[in-house]
């Protein structure tokens, strides 16, 4: 009888422990909105939601997403939303120069500005060959030193960063652009602004509630 009671107490303890663990580690299951979790570590920062945007500068859908979705979310959430562009080329026959320029500008603290300029140059001005003469104007436009920028570009580090981003995307199954992941492990397939807004609010609200 005592052995039976000890066994039942042990089982009950495991059930309670599992329930507590579910509350701590499976909390994303309770978020509002459409999403799926992926087996990746969280990159959450206190008070912020990190939006990973796997995108191609030459992709018209990525350009539209930037204009119609990302801009609205940034305006609404401000410093509570951190958007990180991860270059993931899908359009065939394009040189990696745009992605390398973005990575070098990001390293120099002007990634968002360069991203905006590159999307405009490629999609509005219809210029897709970013040779050194054109780069000078774009580099100056975002407020960077041309000589330092070109030296960084020639170092091979921006290309390495691009390859690391591509490998990251391939590891989590990115097949098209834009693809969005929140906080490193919340994959969002429905990129409607309302769905993303709902998820971001839910994450911030859950963090605030403790």
CB count in 10 Å sphere of residue 4: 8
Structure tokens at 177: 């652009």
Domain boundaries, the chain: 1-30, 33-209
The mean pLDDT of 36-54, rounded to a whole number, is 96
Domain 33-209: give its CATH code: 3.40.30.10
pLDDT of residue 29: 54
pLDDT of residue 210: 74
pLDDT tens string 50-66: 999 999 999 999 999 99
pLDDT tens string 124-157: 999 989 999 999 999 999 999 999 999 999 999 9
- Give the strands of the sheet with 36-37, arranged side by side: 36-37, 186-188, 179-182, 49-55, 81-87
């Amino acid at each position: 009888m005592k052995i039976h009671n000890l066994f039942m107490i042990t089982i009950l303890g495991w059930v309670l422990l599992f329930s507590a663990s579910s509350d701590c580690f499976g909390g994303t299951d309770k978020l509002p909105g459409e999403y799926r979790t992926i087996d990746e570590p969280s990159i959450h920062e206190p008070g912020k939601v990190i939006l990973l945007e796997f995108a191609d500068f030459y992709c018209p859908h990525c350009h539209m997403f930037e204009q119609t979705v990302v801009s609205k979310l940034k305006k609404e959430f401000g410093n509570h939303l951190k958007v990180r562009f991860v270059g993931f080329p899908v359009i065939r026959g394009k040189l990696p120069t745009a992605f390398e320029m973005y990575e070098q500008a990001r390293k120099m603290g002007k990634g968002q500005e360069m991203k905006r300029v590159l999307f405009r140059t490629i999609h509005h001005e219809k210029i897709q060959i970013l040779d050194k003469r054109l780069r000078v104007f774009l580099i100056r436009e975002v407020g960077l030193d041309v000589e330092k920028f070109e030296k960084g570009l020639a170092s091979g580090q921006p290309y390495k960063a691009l390859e690391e981003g591509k490998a990251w995307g391939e590891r989590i199954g990115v097949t098209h652009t834009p693809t969005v992941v929140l906080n490193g492990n919340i994959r969002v397939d429905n990129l409607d602004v309302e769905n993303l807004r709902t998820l971001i609010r839910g994450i911030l609200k859950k963090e605030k509630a403790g």
